[in-house]
Chains A and B, each alone.
Chain A
Amino acid sequence: MWAYLVRRLLYYIPLYLCILLVLMLLLRIDVDSAVAGQLGKQATPEQIQLKKDKMGLNDPFYKQYAMFLGDVFTLSFDQRSWEQELPVGEMIRKALPPTLMITLPSLAFTAVISIAVGLVCSFNRGRFLDRGLMIAAVLGMSVSYLVYIIIGQYFGAYVLGQQHGITPFEIEGYEAVFPPIEGSDGAWFVPGNWIKYCALPVIIGVGVAMGYDTRFYRAVMVEECARDYIVTATAKGATSKKIMFVHMLKNAMIPIVTRIMISLPFLIAGSILVEMYFSIPGMGRTMITAINGKDFPVVQATVAVFAAFVIVTVILTDVCYAIVDPRVRLS
């Protein structure tokens, strides 16, 4: 397996270098306009030139590319954001934890609940329960995420607090769930902060994602239901619980793993809408602000990290296949 992993990694390195090259070329197509945009409509040619000097944009392209590769492979990202003046590495380090506090639980809850619902639906295919749950799933998918956020924030945080005096969730904001020891009276884990600031966005996220995932997992399970081994198990007198959770789930793991692994890179991308509405200083907000502001160093660094995650995930997916299905051999 290790030989396989090394081979795959070597295969992906040139691809990764190409991604970074294309990214940098694309961002430099109209660099003058981007710099002028940074400086505003009063920018003089002298200011634009100074800014370009400071940003290293007057250096030859190969030098800029080499420096960026250096940043990527040392994971330092020392270059400063054009908008915020902060080192990009520091921005990413600070934005990642809030994002993961939302996306990790969302993914876990969505996967567990959706798989369970998918199993139940497939086993009760065509019955009232199946139809009812699928209608709910379609309804969930049909309404915009933004609507859920606005309604969830209004009723889940504001109305609950103002009219009923129950305030488990804050309207907006974020406090670290795992704060640095020196700034938190020694507490390294503050679950209350997660409930206050992250639980509502997670509930909304799970609610929305369940619509898509449930339908997918149901389709996978329905396909499995028609397999011979299910008929054999039923004939042998296995209980429906055993058939569902032991036989069917195990055999449906390949598509399940694929879907979950595909979602992994997006864990670090965060959710732009949730982070904007709940004032969570995460990766989604950082990225969209950088893209809107043509903040190239941040865009470059976040895309580089994201691409690296995608590649690692693809390789890990293969490994997971081998783990969940003994017939798959990594060679």
Chain B
Amino acid sequence: MSVVRALGRVCGCAVLAVAVGTASAQEKVAQLPIRTDGPKSLDPVVGSTVYDNMACAQIYETLLVNKYAKPTEKEPLLLAEMPVSEDGGKTWSLKLKPGVLFHDNACFTKTKGKGRELVTDDVFYSFKRLADAAYELESWWLLKDTVEGFDEFKRIQNWRGSMPERASWLSNQSPETFKKTLFDRELKNRLDTALKDKDEDEVAEITRKITEQFNKDLTPADLDTLAAEFANQPAATFEAAEFDYAAPVAGYRKINDYEFEIELVAPVTRFEWVLTMFQTSIVAREAVEKYGDDFFRNPVGTGPFMLESWTPKKDLHLVRNPNYHEVMYPERGEWDRPDQRNRLHRAAGQQVPFLDRIEFTMYAQDQPMWLQFEAGRIGYTQVPDEYFPQAFDKRTKELLPSVAARGIRGHANKLLDFIFRGFNMDDELVGGYGPKKKALRQAISLAVDLNEFNETFYSGLNVVYDGPIPPGLDGYPEGGTSSAAYQGPNLDLARSKLAEAGYPDGEGLPPIKFYTQNGGNSPEQTELLQRQLSRIGVELDVQLVDFSTLIDAVNKKNAAMFSFAWSSDYPDGENNLALFYGPNEAPGANHYNYKRDDYDEMYEQILTMPAGDERTAIMVEMRDMILEDVPYVGSMARERHYVINPWLLNCKPTERYYAWFKFLDVDDSKRPER
């Protein structure tokens, strides 16, 4: 009996070995699309587009990440646990997950190419890169005015090189900027020399002089004089060291290799969301230094995949990181009912990634992407509007039975969009806060029928809603409508409001200068807007311009009315309410130049409040304040529909974040034969 058992075991082991051998020989590969030309850079600090995000999020990782099963919530990724604050959100204690290794790469000379462990210094180094002007400060806005001493660090470190042209640039800046910039430079150069010579009297004297000089308000004449002096300085005066990553920042405090603290200027709720954004991903310093200008195509991170090849505008191939740290697929309980029905919980509790390779292909046009999906050659695709009726019932937005019968799954995502047409509140004609001025904007808003826009240009797929807070976030009105809104079409009320504004039937109202981009279907959308407004006698002076001219006109406050869209950076209504915060006025994100002290006070209040009913109530009050003042006509948000081929498993596409590709798996038996 024992011999038979032993034989059985041997045979069993042999069969298992063959099976394992076959399985390991069969690579798991997913072919996935990137709509448009794809990423521009694989360096997170210079990335800005969703395609940069999509690529970077597979290679690098952030301290926190959105949850795959519930993307509006977050969880630790490179951290061992969620950050803790014991002083109401001003100082945060963070603990790194031990044993997280960077990708193996030739840049790690000390370890002969083996990826080393991630430590606290890597976090500080990666964050400091955001402040380095060599990367054009593309992502600086994320940590601007946020971390104690970081803005000062940025200013001091970026003054290097001698460029007399900067003087003329400086003289065009606000006195505040000029003062700060010059002061820092003086401080850095003159004091450094005095300190080097250990001349305490000189140090005291220079400090006193500088303080005296810049404590008074500067007139334009002072600025000119200073600019001239500045320009006449010998080049060597302004030569400073390279950006010094070792220089301390008061708000970054290292405890040990795995623990550190971050002190903020003031408690800000959004800080944790900043730690989920791909621009704050942790990079290997050795790689940045080794590859220099070519780091953007030689990325080294800690992510689940490593770059194999990247041909811009063509494809991007990633391979599994064999040293990926412990990250598990979400547990069954985290998935809601519909997701469980779609078997999204099937891999619960298993180590990721499942795929050996991901092959992204860039599609500049929709037809080839759609045909490749139909042929079963790519795992999923966003459904372009013109192909929507081929996959979904337009009325119910359900997958067509013929499509579902092929095992294809559908999935919809409401985007955090805020599509609007804004007013410049500083404009003489349409701006202002008096009853007549408000009545004019209310009349315009009441004359616009957003549903007609939705049907005509978006196949009725967009969500029309009141207020600036998009669907799914605290502060979004129930059912999308608020009683405070002047949502059209209500032509009778619009006409009476117009009369109230002093322009009965539009008489005496000059054409309103409306700036919009000349690409896509903007000209057609503008035609419709003109037609709708003409019903109450309002005329537009349309300026169809390219994007840079549009931005320029808005930033210089030359556009009375303009067409823009905003996509939330993180899932918190605060992000959208910031668009109306006075200090953010143009050229900042407050393109409307909306300024109300009571609104600003409330905004500052919610910035530091934890999420909850009290915060939401204030946000609703702010929203209704905006709706009453009508600094824009809106709003709409896009709803994106996806179709997923049966061979791609665990797929729940979301555009809130892109670090979810590691959860994907494939079942090759369900692929169509080629």
User: Which residues of chain A have a CB within 8 Å of any CB of chain B?
Assistant: 30, 32-34, 36-37, 39-47, 49-51, 53-54, 58, 80, 83-86, 91, 94, 150, 153-154, 157-158, 161-162, 167, 171-174, 276-279, 281, 285-286, 289, 294
Contacts and interface: CB of A to CB of B under 8 A. Distances in A.
B48 A172 contact: no
B371 A279 contact: no
A40 B141 CA distance: 13
A177 to B, nearest CB: 15
Interface stretch (B280-288, B497-505, B544-552, B602-610): B544-552
B173 A281 contact: no
A306 B587 CA distance: 39
B525 interface: no
A162 B313 CA distance: 26
A172 B296 CA distance: 27
Given A37-B548, A41-B564, A171-B375, A49 B169 contact: yes
Interface stretch (B207-215, B361-369, B390-398): B361-369
Contact of A41 (B41, B546, B551): B551
Nearest to B553: A33
A83 B40 contact: yes
B5 interface: no
Interface of B: 37, 40-41, 46, 48, 133, 136-138, 140-141, 163, 165-166, 169, 173, 293, 296-297, 311-315, 361-365, 367-368, 371-372, 374-375, 377, 546-549, 551-552, 554-555, 564, 587, 589, 591, 674
Contacts of A276: 364-365
A150 B361 contact: no
Given A91-B312, A172-B371, 5 more contacts: A36-B552, A45-B587, A158-B374, A172-B363, A276-B364
Nearest to B39: A84
A330 to B, nearest CB: 43
B173 A277 contact: no
B163 A150 contact: no
A162 B374 contact: yes
B368 A281 contact: no
Contact of B313 (A43, A158, A285): A285
A36 B587 CA distance: 11
B674 A167 contact: yes
Nearest to B161: A53
Given A37-B547, A153-B368, A173-B361, A54 B169 contact: no
A33 B314 contact: no
Contacts of B138: 39, 47
B296 to A, nearest CB: 5
A222 B549 CA distance: 53
Contact of A289 (B37, B137, B296): B37
Contacts of A157: 371
B546 A37 contact: yes
A267 to B, nearest CB: 20
A54 B138 CA distance: 13
Contacts of A51: 136
A277 to B, nearest CB: 5
B48 A161 contact: no
A158 B371 contact: yes
Contacts of B296: 85
A60 to B, nearest CB: 10
Given A34-B548, A85-B41, A47 B312 contact: no
A4 to B, nearest CB: 42
B165 A58 contact: yes
- List the 3 closest pairs (A to B, CB-CB), nearest first: A37-B548, A33-B548, A172-B368
Nearest to A95: B313
B548 A54 contact: no
A279 B48 contact: no
B549 A172 contact: no
B408 to A, nearest CB: 15
A291 B138 CA distance: 22
A153 B367 contact: yes
Contacts of B364: 276, 279, 285
14 contacts: A34-B548, A36-B552, A41-B551, A43-B587, A49-B166, A49-B169, A54-B136, A84-B312, A85-B40, A153-B367, A153-B368, A171-B371, A277-B365, A279-B362
A281 B313 contact: yes
A29 to B, nearest CB: 12
A40 B566 CA distance: 12
Nearest to A162: B375
A161 B375 CA distance: 8
Contacts of B46: 85
B368 A277 contact: yes
A47 B137 contact: yes
Contacts of B546: 33, 37
A171 B372 contact: yes
Contacts of B41: 84-85
A36 B551 contact: yes
B311 A281 contact: yes
A84 B47 CA distance: 11
A240 B656 CA distance: 72
Contacts of A171: 368, 371-372, 375, 377
A32 B48 CA distance: 20
Given A37-B546, A167-B674, A281-B314, A50 B552 contact: no
A144 B668 CA distance: 40
B551 A37 contact: yes
A158 B375 contact: yes
Given A84-B40, A172-B363, A154 B371 contact: yes
Contacts of A54: 136
Given A58-B165, A85-B296, A172-B368, A279 B361 contact: yes
Contacts of B555: 36
Residue from A45, A83, A158, A279 having most chain B Cβ neighbours under 10 A: A279
A49 B546 CA distance: 21
A59 B551 CA distance: 25
A49 B163 CA distance: 12
Contacts of A85: 40-41, 46, 293, 296-297
A50 B361 CA distance: 33
A22 to B, nearest CB: 21
B363 A58 contact: no
A83 B551 CA distance: 18
Contacts of B297: 85-86
Nearest to A33: B548
A33 B551 CA distance: 8
A97 to B, nearest CB: 12
A327 B346 CA distance: 82
